[in-house]
Amino acid sequence: MRILYGVQGTGNGHIARARVMAKALAKRDDIHVDFIFTGRDAGEYFDMEIFGNYKTFDGLTFITQNGEVNRWETIKKIKFRQFIRDVRSLDVSGYDLLLNDFDPVTAWAAKLNELASISVSHQAAFKHPVPKQGESFADRLLMRMFAPCEINLGVHWYHFGYPILPPFIEESVSQATTGDKVLVYLPFENLDEIKSLLKALPGVEFECYHPDIKQPFHSDNTHWRCLSKADFRTSLFNCAGVIANGGFELSSECLTLGKKILIKPLKNQYEQASNCITLERMGRCNSMHELNADAVKHWLNLPSPEPINYPNNPDVFINWLLEEDWLDTKSLCQQLWKHIRFPDNVLSSLQNPSYSSHA
């Protein structure tokens, strides 16, 4: 089977999920995969060796400033003509299937050329009545039109009774220790504001990764780090907890490793606000809507949560792809969820009828 895999490259969560899939796919001799990434400049990708000879396009992305989505700047910087040229020029004739993680270029190219397509993304989960916060008509339209696919498999922390997969997480709780440093990853926040926040907490030692840091250095109580997948994973395994925006993939890793999370959701981004609501219902995060030292102090005194054992191997999903009975999503989802054990209080909250009439 020849698969084209399109990945939204804005942020690192989509790429992290694609890495897990790429490692598993690379072990198979019955599948060939080509990767396409969109949403950021080609020179800004890092640690991409696993994807082989991947391609990049501009695609469509969101412009963030000072911790919120700037909708006006986002609209102004959309290159519609370039996007249409990229879609029309992309040759998908040699593929049997498109796997898509919220990438618009490959999704629209597959649609125009009648290539079978399956969305495997966190965004696809929001097509169903899962917990949501602040969703507007424009958000619903965006989810429907941004990267349309024939079959939509959402990825979320619970299925809520719909065709939703659990996250595939490479890490396991056996790799985790509880150190003294707090990991900070707030890539959409202003770096000077982060510095002010952490400096106001002199009794705590932090490790902060940020895209604006080009050389590592140390000041006051904080180690400032350049973006690096290997270094970040080491920090994640050994930290006392994580302060982050509301991205799905990092939160999933924290759930698996039993790390407590303090979330500052990206403003004007209902997906992150919705993630925060779900994690709070699960008892797995605290939140702050502004960078606030008092909120950090309160969170630091909280205990670490019990881990949740999300799967680390997507072979069940890959075998399902090869069977080509793609309309049968129910058996796939049942097989993946049956081995996941939730603490009783988490499960009772997730199964609350207010989430979904099908839960």
Residue indicated by tokens 């090869």:
322
Residue 270 pLDDT > 80: yes
pLDDT in tens, 321-358: 999 999 999 999 999 999 999 988 898 888 875 544 33
pLDDT for the residue numbered 212 = 93
Instruction: Tell me if the pTM is above 0.95.
Output: no
Residues 74-97: tens digit of each pLDDT = 565 667 888 899 999 999 999 999
Instruction: Let me know the angle formed at the C-alpha of 158 by 157 and 159, rounded to the nearest 5 degrees.
Output: 135
Asked whether residue 9 carries a pLDDT value surpassing 50, the answer given is: yes
Query: Which CATH number is 2-168+311-350 given?
Result: 3.40.50
Residue 257 sits at φ, ψ, to 5 deg, of -85, -5
Cα dihedral 118, 142, 186, 177 in deg (nearest 10) = -30
Model confidence over 302-314: pLDDT tens digits?
999 999 999 989 9
According to CATH, where is 3.40.50.2000 located in the chain? Answer: 173-300
The per-residue pLDDT for range 129-147, each reduced to its tens digit, is 999 887 777 778 777 888 9
CATH homologous superfamily for 173-300? Glycogen Phosphorylase B; (3.40.50.2000)
CB 306 within 8 A of CB 343: yes
Secondary-structure breakdown of the chain: helix, strand, coil percentages, each rounded to the nearest 5: 40, 20, 45
Mapping DSSP to helix (H, G, I), strand (E, B) and coil, where does residue 279 land?
helix
